């Protein structure tokens, strides 16, 4: 046994010793690899983080501390200065990370950004409408604004804020301005003459054209490349651009183009309690120019919903003009040139979003601005579009309470007579010989011509879905998102606070508001009339009346707001 054990042990020991070197070498290599690999990855991650490579994720890249905005190249980022404070934000601005891109953005555009774009407008709106309008257009690339203000927009507490915004020039309707515009060459030309000596919308149309003429000179002095005329209820929608940028859109326009036409889309509100249209309205009716003809006319009746036309108001869009020699306005919707016929193009995707009749108060605003009689004959000389005429009549013949109860009951003062009349057969209603028969028939016609709930509010979801599938209605969220982001970032509240801090004291600021309101209201409330602007003698007036009938082909007539094409009688829906 001893010999057996002695013969086995050497053999086993010899086998273990022969295999040990290879086993130890493999184990050491594996241990080395497991040690070095994590260290290498850690070093590589550290290097990438140190070089900024790992900070390019969406959350970090678009954080409030970064200068870029989605869709903007680094070379196009607006310069800004960032200031931070550990103190509590007194403005109560939202710190939500959902849309923080605008926070601390000063909107100071560098001089080398091209093209330089400006917008001119004539407005009486307050800050709740004007501030979102200005800063939305700043986001998409507009650098300068020429605001011809009166009414609420000219009050001290509003104008103080507007004047504090970089790139905004405020022009008040003073006696000096009216005297200067009374000397305009426009008065001695024919292209605008058919709008002279008429009230309300016609008068506003003349005023806008005179303001546009002055804005052209201001744009040239400021070195602008393009000029728009927009109302403060309109937003430019630069669809079709990679960066949602108006600058990019106009930069791609060929150099031989003088004017770019933006077809307008009209807002379609889905509720009757809209307070902030820019932030609450996302559904729009497309323009005829952006729809196939068979789709437009084939769904015309459903799209109008009993209104006078496919759009409630105008449908011929707005335009941008290249700032150049001899440029002149051609009404509020177009531009022209004294020395040539402008070369114009119409955009296939971009549009102007028109937020019309989005609030119930829009019905009464026209009534309060115009002193016309609420009759079918008189409103024709005050308003150019049929729906505006109907809106004025219904707003003038019904009380606020009755209008708010639309579509029931009828906007008629005597509800007892209405109840009695509705029991009569239809032919007898309008032929009733009671004392109230004429008043009732007049209210009935007005009521049928315009009902806010049925004619303006798009509450029929099935119809909306059908027209969306047809391409007539469209959802557009970009303006809503941008403006809500501006609001959440505290841009509007910061501008207002900065303007207030610039005043000597809160008490002095409030007292100045009251006194300045009185003085400016006295100036602003003086009805600017194309019939008596400046001191015009009778000879000049007579000459202008004669010029109304002069046919001069070199100066085509100003283009008024026009409705979209009406349903052709000969058209057969497919």
281: nearest Cα among 97, 94, 457: 457
List pLDDT tens digits, range 287-326: 999 999 999 999 999 999 888 899 999 999 999 999 999 9
CB 318 within 8 A of CB 333: yes
3-state secondary structure 280-338: HCCEEECCHHHCCHHHHHHCHHHHHCCCCCCCCCCCCCEEEEECCCCEEECCCCCEEEC
Tokens of 552: 């001069």
Structural domain boundaries of the chain?
A: 117-264+314-357
- With residues binned 3-state (H G I as helix, E B as strand, rest as coil), the percentages for the chain, rounded to 5, are 45, 10, 45
Q: Is 283 exposed, middle or buried (0-12, 13-18, 19+ CB in 10 A)?
A: middle
Other residues' Cβ atoms within 10 Å of the Cβ of residue 394: 26
Q: Report how far residue 544's alpha carbon sits from residue 534's, in angstroms, rounded to the nearest whole number.
A: 14
Q: Tell me the DSSP string of 388-426.
A: HHHHHHHHHHS-HHHHHTTTSS-S-S-HHHHHHHTTS-H
pLDDT band at 170 (very low <50, low <70, confident <90, very high): very high
Residue 322 pairs with which residues in a beta bridge?
226
115 cis-preceded (ω within 30 degrees of 0): yes
Cβ density class 157-176: b for 16+ within 10 Å, e for less: bbbbbbeebebbbbbbbeee
Q: Report how far residue 309's alpha carbon sits from residue 450's, in angstroms, rounded to the nearest whole number.
A: 12
Q: For strand 234-237 and strand 473-475, is the pairing parallel, antiparallel, or unpaired?
A: unpaired
Tokens of 385: 């579009």
pLDDT of residue 7: 43
If you average pLDDT over each of 117-121, 417-421, 545-549, which comes out highest?
117-121
Cα distances (Å, whole numbers) of residue 249 to 92, 226, 266:
36, 12, 21
List pLDDT tens digits, range 360-381: 777 777 677 787 888 888 888 8
Q: Report how far residue 214's alpha carbon sits from residue 55's, in angstroms, rounded to the nearest whole number.
A: 49
Q: Which residues contact 444 (CB under 8 A, 6 or more apart)?
A: 410, 412, 429, 430
Whether the pLDDT of residue 78 is over 60: the answer is no
Residues 93-106, mean pLDDT to the nearest whole number:
48
CB 224 within 8 A of CB 169: no
pLDDT band at 41 (very low <50, low <70, confident <90, very high): confident
pLDDT band at 352 (very low <50, low <70, confident <90, very high): very high
pLDDT of residue 379: 87
List pLDDT tens digits, range 386-403: 888 888 887 777 665 555
Cα distances (Å, whole numbers) of residue 377 to 3, 173, 374, 436, 448:
137, 31, 9, 22, 18
Q: Report how far residue 112's alpha carbon sits from residue 536's, in angstroms, rounded to the nearest whole number.
A: 45
What CATH fold (topology level) applies to the domain 117-264+314-357? Spore Coat Polysaccharide Biosynthesis Protein SpsA; Chain A (3.90.550)
Other residues' Cβ atoms within 10 Å of the Cβ of residue 462: 7
3-state secondary structure 78-124: CECCCCCCCCCCCCCCCCCCCCCCCCCCCCECCCCCCCCEEEEEEEC
CB 234 within 8 A of CB 129: no
List pLDDT tens digits, range 227-261: 999 999 999 999 999 889 999 999 999 999 999 99
């Amino acid at each position: 046994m001893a010999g057996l054990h002695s013969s086995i042990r050497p053999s086993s020991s010899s086998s273990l010793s022969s295999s040990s070197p290879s086993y130890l070498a493999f184990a050491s290599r594996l241990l080395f690899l497991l040690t070095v690999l994590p260290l290498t990855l850690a070093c590589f991650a550290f290097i990438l983080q140190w070089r900024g490579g790992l900070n390019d994720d969406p959350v970090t890249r678009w954080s409030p501390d970064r200068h870029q905005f989605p869709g903007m190249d680094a070379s196009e980022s607006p310069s800004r200065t960032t200031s931070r404070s550990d103190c509590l934000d007194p403005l109560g601005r939202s710190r939500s990370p959902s849309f923080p891109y605008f926070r601390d953005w000063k909107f100071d555009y560098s001089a080398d950004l091209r093209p330089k774009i400006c917008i001119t407008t004539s407005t009486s709106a307050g800050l709740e409408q004007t501030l979102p309008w200005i800063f939305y257009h700043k986001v998409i690339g507009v650098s300068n604004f020429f605001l011809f203000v009166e009414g609420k927009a000219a009050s001290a507490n509003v104008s103080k804020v507007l004047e504090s915004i970089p790139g905004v020039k405020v022009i008040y309707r003073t006696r000096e301005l009216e005297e200067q515009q009374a000397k305009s060459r426009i008065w001695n030309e024919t292209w605008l003459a058919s709008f002279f000596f008429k009230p309300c919308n016609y008068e506003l149309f003349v005023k806008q054209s005179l303001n546009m003429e002055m804005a052209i000179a201001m744009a040239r002095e400021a070195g602008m490349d393009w000029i728009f005329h927009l109302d403060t209820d309109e937003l430019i929608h630069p669809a079709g651009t990679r960066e949602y940028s108006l600058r990019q859109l106009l930069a791609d326009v060929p150099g031989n183009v003088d004017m770019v036409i933006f077809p307008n889309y009209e807002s379609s509100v889905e509720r009757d309690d809209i307070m902030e249209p820019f932030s609450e309205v996302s559904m729009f009716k497309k323009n005829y120019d952006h729809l196939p003809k068979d789709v437009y006319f084939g769904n015309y009746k459903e799209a109008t919903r009993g209104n006078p036309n496919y759009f409630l108001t105008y449908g011929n869009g707005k335009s941008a003009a290249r700032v150049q020699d001899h440029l002149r306005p051609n009404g509020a919707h177009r531009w022209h040139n004294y020395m040539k016929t402008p070369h114009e193009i119409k955009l296939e995707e971009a549009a102007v979003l028109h937020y019309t009749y989005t609030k119930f108060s829009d019905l009464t605003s026209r009534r309060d601005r115009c002193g016309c009689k609420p009759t079918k004959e008189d409103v024709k000389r005050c308003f150019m579009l049929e729906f505006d005429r109907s809106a004025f009549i219904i707003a003038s013949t019904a009380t606020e309470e009755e209008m708010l109860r639309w579509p029931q009951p009828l906007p008629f003062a005597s509800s007892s007579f209405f109840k009695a009349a509705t029991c009569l057969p239809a032919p007898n209603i309008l032929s009733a010989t009671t004392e109230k028969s004429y008043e009732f028939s007049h209210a009935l016609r007005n009521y049928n011509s315009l009902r806010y709930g049925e004619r303006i509010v798009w509450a029929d979801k099935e119809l909306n879905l059908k027209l969306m599938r047809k391409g007539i209605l469209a959802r557009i969220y970009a303006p809503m998102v941008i403006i809500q982001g501006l609001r959440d970032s505290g841009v509007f509240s910061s501008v207002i606070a900065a303007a207030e801090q610039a005043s000597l004291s809160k008490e002095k600021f409030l007292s100045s508001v009251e006194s300045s309101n009185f003085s400016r209201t006295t100036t602003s409330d003086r009805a600017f009339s194309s019939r008596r602007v400046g001191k015009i003698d009778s000879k000049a007036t007579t000459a202008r009346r004669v010029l109304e009938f002069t046919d001069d082909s070199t100066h085509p007539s100003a283009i008024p707001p026009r409705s979209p094409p009406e349903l052709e009688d000969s058209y057969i829906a497919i």
